[in-house]
Chain A
Amino acid sequence: MDRHRRQALKSGGGLSLVALLAAAGWIDPAAAAPAEAWNKAAFQTHDMDSTLKALGDGTPVPSANVVFFSTPDIAENGAVVPVGITSKVPNTESIAILVEKNPNMLAALFEIPTGTEPAITTRVKMRETSNVYALVKAGGNYYVTSKEIKVTLGGCGG
């Protein structure tokens, strides 16, 4: 008589609490997901100007306060290029990684709330040897630094 309940408990064992609650109809799974939008326009751009425009306009100033770390000069595998960026600009709001010669220039955008250190590392794909830009937004202004990374093997897999 309690079989259905038992099955539900059994099958729920491996699921996360959120999924379980969602399955039970208690919470809307969409409500648990990030509410912020994904900036589609910014991820379809091919040059710095249009990327900046899509991100909200501004002219980036080259800055020695934006620094690459743990980022190689030569990447053997373009599919997995480690990139670390730190910003010493006060009130850093976001850090973006742009790869000039990729099909779409913007690779990733990290929004940094107060209390989070303005330093991130990740891994990106690079089609070919290219300049990589670290673009920082702080106090409404943009700061940029660039670094050329040589790619020995392209990262597009095709």
Chain B
Amino acid sequence: MPDPMKIRANLVGDSTEVKVLMSHEMDTGLAKDSSGKVIPAWFIQKVTVLHNDQQVLYAQWGTAVSKNPFMSFKFKGGAKGDKVTITWVDNHNETRTDSAVVG
């Protein structure tokens, strides 16, 4: 099971600011290890962000997103106590879902 995401969701004016840090190697498939063997590509491809049950962002990523990806954005509305749920899926079809409460 991959490590949990660190998610912050805070009200800023009339918007909710979401910041997330994921734990993932994001291997490009181009780098080699110390023995000269190519490290196969392993990276997050899809990220969805839900505010309660409504989708507020959908991202598609390639291998060029940095290791342990960071992302931030804002959506309108949201109230203290609302739930923000983030799910990612990588190219091995591994997935992880974490939630945070808007503060």
CB-contact partner of B57 in A18, A106, A116, under 8 A: A116
Q: How many residues of B contact A (CB 8 A)?
A: 38
In the complex, the chain B residue whose C-beta lies closest to that of A111 is B58
Chain B binding site: helix, strand, loop or mixed by DSSP?
strand
Q: Do residues B67 and A110 form an inter-chain contact, with CB atoms below 8 A? A: no
Asked if residues B57 and A121 are in contact (CB atoms below 8 Å), the reply is no
Q: Which residues of B contact A113 (CB under 8 A)?
A: 55-58
- Per the bound structure, the CA–CA distance linking A26 and B40 in Å amounts to 34
Q: Considering the complex, which residues of chain A in the window 121-158 have a beta carbon less than 8 Å from any beta carbon of chain B? A: 121-126, 155-158
Q: Judging by beta carbons under 8 Å apart, are A122 and B69 in contact?
A: yes
Please name 9 further chain A to chain B contacts, defined as beta carbons within 8 Å, in addition to the given A106-B64, A108-B61, sorted by A numbering: A43-B63, A81-B66, A104-B63, A104-B64, A110-B59, A113-B58, A116-B73, A122-B66, A157-B31
5 contacts between A and B (CB under 8 A): A36-B46, A113-B56, A116-B74, A120-B72, A125-B26
